[in-house]
């Protein structure tokens, strides 16, 4: 994106002196974090299933109501480990409308990700399309709870059971969310969370696997620690998926502010809803009020013919005003390598994914964003849409 300011020609001053990013981390109580880090240093126990990791795992099991939580260094490695622990091979059905890590975790192990289209209403895996993609080589399905909105878990579980497939959920977006009143983390054979800095609840870098399957949990614990079952005794191929104590200290501190992070996100979401309500061509993704959500994603679908500008033109305008809005998950995994070379015609089977990747705009939220900021973002979008022909002409001339 270039950094020119189309709206400057309309006489507006630059809206934000400092960049307002999507993905700005939420930081909990600094003193509590520093105290934990000091204790950790005094203890000289920095990683390898230390006391903070164990405390975090027990807390998450209690909060989610799940039997096993295994903390990990990040969600990508967690996905890789669960995929191996479930003995997936051949082909696994995944959405293309996801972060590239979901597909890479399979391909890394020479398992073919078979890209399936999403339901345009929910942005999650469409169970009807899943069924059509099952072949004799299919061993599993990975659903992604995009924006923390649960997949159609019931339909996917029914297919998985009937066709004898493993079912895994990438719940990277969905910590603190529920499906049918039950916490995400309890579904399928296992679920994987991300606690990356950009997630509303973070551990700097981190993730976790949750499952109610005792044998699977035991296997995953071994695999994340090189396959060690005891001192000098390796019984399995494994890797290093361990979470450090510093990450667990951050996660435990974040956990203490969980409710306030969600309250801030929810208030921001409501402010966005009111601010964007009258803008033509901008449809805010709403959350089911009967379920819990973390409200971390402020997602707008841009309808070019109504707004007069397309998503990328609006992003240019926002970036020029220092609002670092983002496309998600553009252009779709199927258009990235190596998948594009493997399946050059995949787009023909993914019309809703293609449309969403072109339409979705994600706006900043979290504790770094307040209602005044949202009002300003609304003003920017409103004036861009009101002056769409001028903005478009300006951008077509290279934004100079």
Q: Footprint of ligand T4K on residues 339-398 (CB under 6 A)?
A: none
203 vs 346, which CB is nearer to ligand T4K?
203
Q: Does 147 bind ligand T4K (CB under 6 A)?
A: no
Of 26, 74, 310, 387, the one binding ligand T4K (CB under 6 A) is 74
C-alpha triplet 353, 354, 359: angle, nearest 5°:
95
Q: Is 207 in the site for ligand T4K (CB under 6 A)?
A: yes
Q: Which residues of 302-340 are buried (b: 16+ CB within 10 A; e: fewer)?
A: bebeebbbbbbbbbbbbbbbbbbbbbbbbebbbbbeebe
Binder to ligand T4K among 71, 101, 157, 318 (CB under 6 A)?
101
How many CB atoms neighbour CB 120 within 10 A? 14
- Judged by CB under 6 A, the number of residues near ligand T4K is 22
Q: Whose CB is nearest to ligand T4K? A: 23
How far apart (Å, rounded) are the C-alpha atoms in residues 28 and 221? 28
Q: Distance (Å, rounded) from C-alpha 324 to C-alpha 217?
A: 39
Closer by beta carbon to ligand T4K, 80 or else 388: 80
Q: Judged by CB under 6 A, which of 324, 333, 362, 381 binds ligand T4K? A: 324
What is the maximum alpha-carbon separation in the chain? 71
Question: To the nearest whole angstrom, how small is the minimum distance from the Cβ of residue 102 to ligand T4K?
Answer: 5
Residues near 87 by beta carbon (within 8 Å), at least 6 away in sequence: 139, 166
Half-sphere exposure in the Cβ direction for 339 (13 Å, CA)? 25
- Burial label for 227, CB within 10 Å (0-12, 13-18, 19+), is middle
Q: Which stretch binds ligand T4K (CB under 6 A): 88-96, 99-107, 228-236, 278-286?
A: 99-107
Rounded to a whole number of angstroms, the minimum distance from the CB of residue 230 to ligand T4K is: 29
Exactly one of 15, 172, 190, 363 binds ligand T4K (CB under 6 A); which one?
172
In the complex, least distance from residue 399 CB atom to ligand T4K, rounded to whole angstroms:
21
Q: CB of residue 249 vs ligand T4K: minimum separation in angstroms?
A: 17
Choose, by CB under 6 A, the member of 22, 208, 380, 388 that binds ligand T4K: 22
The CA distance from 139 to 92, in Å, is: 6
- Regarding 90 and contact with ligand T4K (CB under 6 A), the answer is no
The smaller minimum CB distance to ligand T4K, of residues 23 and 120, is found at 23
Task: Work out how close the CB of 232 gets to ligand T4K at its nearest, in angstroms, rounded to a whole number.
Answer: 31
**If we measure between CA atoms, which residue out of 202, 206, 209 comes closest to residue 254?**
202
- Binding flag, residue 144, ligand T4K (CB under 6 A): yes
Q: Is 149 in the site for ligand T4K (CB under 6 A)?
A: no
Of positions 26, 96, 102, 310, contacts ligand T4K by CB under 6 A: 102
Q: Judged by CB, which is closer to ligand T4K: 127, or 364?
A: 364
Strands (E), the chain: 20-21, 68-72, 91-95, 112-116, 138-144, 166-170, 178-179, 182-183, 190-194, 207-211, 228-230, 233-234, 282-284, 298-302, 323-324, 326-327, 360-363
Residues that bind ligand T4K (CB under 6 A): 21-25, 74-76, 98-99, 101-102, 144, 170, 172-173, 194, 196-198, 207, 324
């Amino acid at each position: 994106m270039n950094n020119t300011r189309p709206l400057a020609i309309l006489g507006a001053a630059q809206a934000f002196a400092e960049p307002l990013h999507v993905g700005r981390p939420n930081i909990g109580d600094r003193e509590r974090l520093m105290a934990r880090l000091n204790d950790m240093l005094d203890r000289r126990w920095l990683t390898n299933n230390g006391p903070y990791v164990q405390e975090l795992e027990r807390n998450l099991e209690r909060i989610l109501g799940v039997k096993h939580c295994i903390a990990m260094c990040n969600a990508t490695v967690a996905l890789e480990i669960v995929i191996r622990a479930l003995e997936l091979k051949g082909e696994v059905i995944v959405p293309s409308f996801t972060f590239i890590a979901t597909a890479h975790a399979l391909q890394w192990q020479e398992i073919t990700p078979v890209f399936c289209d999403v339901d345009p209403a929910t942005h999650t895996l469409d169970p009807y399309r899943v069924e059509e993609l099952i072949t004799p080589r299919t061993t599993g399905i990975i659903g992604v709870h995009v924006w923390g909105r649960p997949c159609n878990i019931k339909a996917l579980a029914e297919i998985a059971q009937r066709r004898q497939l493993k079912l895994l959920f990438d719940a990277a977006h969905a910590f603190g969310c529920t499906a049918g009143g039950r916490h995400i983390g309890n579904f399928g054979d296992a679920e994987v969370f991300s606690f990356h800095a950009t997630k509303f609840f973070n551990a700097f870098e981190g993730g976790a696997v949750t499952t109610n399957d005792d044998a699977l949990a035991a296997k995953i614990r071994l695999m994340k620690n090189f396959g060690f079952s005891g001192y000098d005794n390796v019984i399995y191929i494994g890797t290093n998926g361990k979470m450090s104590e510093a990450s667990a200290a951050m996660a435990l501190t974040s956990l203490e502010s969980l409710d306030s992070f969600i309250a801030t996100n929810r208030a921001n979401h409501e402010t966005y809803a009111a601010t964007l309500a009258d803008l033509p061509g901008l449809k805010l993704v709403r959350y089911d009020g009967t379920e819990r959500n973390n409200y971390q994603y402020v997602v707008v679908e841009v309808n070019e013919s109504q707004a007069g500008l397309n998503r990328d033109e609006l992003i240019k305008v926002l970036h020029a005003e220092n609002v670092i809005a983002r496309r998600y998950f553009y252009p779709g995994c199927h258009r990235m390598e190596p998948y594009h070379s493997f399946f050059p015609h995949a787009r023909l089977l993914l019309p809703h994914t293609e449309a969403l990747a072109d339409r979705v705009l994600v706006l900043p939220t979290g504790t770094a964003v307040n209602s005044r900021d949202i009002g300003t973002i609304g003003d920017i979008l409103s004036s861009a849409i009101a002056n769409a022909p001028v903005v478009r002409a300006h951008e077509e001339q290279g934004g100079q």
